A and B are shown apart, each in its own frame.
Chain A
Amino acid sequence: MSLSDKDKAAVKALWAKISPKADDIGAEALGRMLTVYPQTKTYFAHWADLSPGSGPVKKHGKVIMGAVGDAVSKIDDLVGGLASLSELHASKLRVDPANFKILAHNVIVVIGMLFPGDFPPEVHMSVDKFFQNLALALSEKYR
């Protein structure tokens, strides 16, 4: 399900609207993921505090959304653009790729929550496709 020009335009337009709140979205989405899908906490056992709104969660939410923003700018070549991130996830982090879908769902819930007027079904579809392609690019180097 590759990205059409229409999808790319929709994602870029939405990103322009939501990027000022990117840090908040990231922290909120990560906090929700850890709460709603407790199995994801297994990847963060080294953090002192895994509760929503905690220091580590906020910090890491910012990192994640920074990477999402970078992916938006590289939307025409996600595999090439995210090569080193993929390498990191494949060899060091080794996050099961099923979790990318889980995080994407939570980012989408937060976008829908904070920007309900900017997230009609067609935009939602393009964003869902974008995250799917992002996840694919991220798992490119896994095997």
Chain B
Amino acid sequence: MVVWTDQERAYIQDIFSKLNYEEAGPKALQRTLIVYPWTQRYFTSFGNLYNAEAIMSNSKVAAHGVVVLHGLDRAMKNMDDIKKTYAELSVLHSEKLHVDPDNFRLLADCLTIVIAATMGTSFTADVQAAWQKFLAVVVSALCRQYH
């Protein structure tokens, strides 16, 4: 079971309270699709992803970025049992979407950079540590139902 210190909980709640889901979600997904272009393989139904400009202006990408952030919000609201909260999502990503779990880490890293850019120096090393721990737990929960 994951043990969270009060400080870690506070840092994570604080990040989410300051986060604009409609901005950060799209930015993180766009960045992932541009920096790691092989991730585009999962979004062939999204239309034009041909270059960075197309990705940045693609409304389906933006909409999906928001969906991802709301998914993370659920994990934040259930921090003491993310495993259980994400059980169905894990099955979905494995059985239906067939996403290579390494991609979760790539998206997580891009989201971290988006948040760092938004928060600036208030994204201290300790805050980053708590945030990345949270994302690692989320990724682990998403991987659980893969077989």
**Interface of A with B (CB < 8 Å)?**
31-32, 35-36, 52, 105, 108-110, 112-114, 116, 119-122, 124-125, 128
Q: How many residues of B contact A (CB 8 A)?
A: 24
CA distance A120 to B34 in the complex (A): 10
**Interface of B with A (CB < 8 Å)?**
30-31, 34-36, 52, 55-56, 109, 112-114, 116-121, 123, 125-126, 128-129, 132
CA distance A65 to B39 in the complex (A): 30
Given contacts A35-B128, A112-B116, A125-B35, 17 further A-B pairs with CB under 8 A are A35-B129, A36-B128, A109-B116, A109-B123, A109-B128, A112-B113, A112-B114, A112-B117, A113-B123, A116-B118, A119-B113, A119-B117, A121-B34, A122-B52, A124-B31, A124-B113, A125-B36
* Distance from B11 Cβ to chain A, minimum over Cβ atoms (Å): 12
B120 touches A113 (CB 8 A): yes
By a CB distance below 8 angstroms, the chain A residues around B119 are 113
* Distance from B31 Cβ to chain A, minimum over Cβ atoms (Å): 5
* Distance from A73 Cβ to chain B, minimum over Cβ atoms (Å): 24
B52 touches A109 (CB 8 A): no
* Distance from A101 Cβ to chain B, minimum over Cβ atoms (Å): 10
* Distance from B5 Cβ to chain A, minimum over Cβ atoms (Å): 14
* Distance from B26 Cβ to chain A, minimum over Cβ atoms (Å): 12
CA distance A125 to B3 in the complex (A): 35
The residue that B113 contacts in the complex, of A36, A108, A122, with Cβ under 8 A, is A108
B112 touches A109 (CB 8 A): yes
By a CB distance below 8 angstroms, the chain B residues around A36 are 125, 128-129, 132
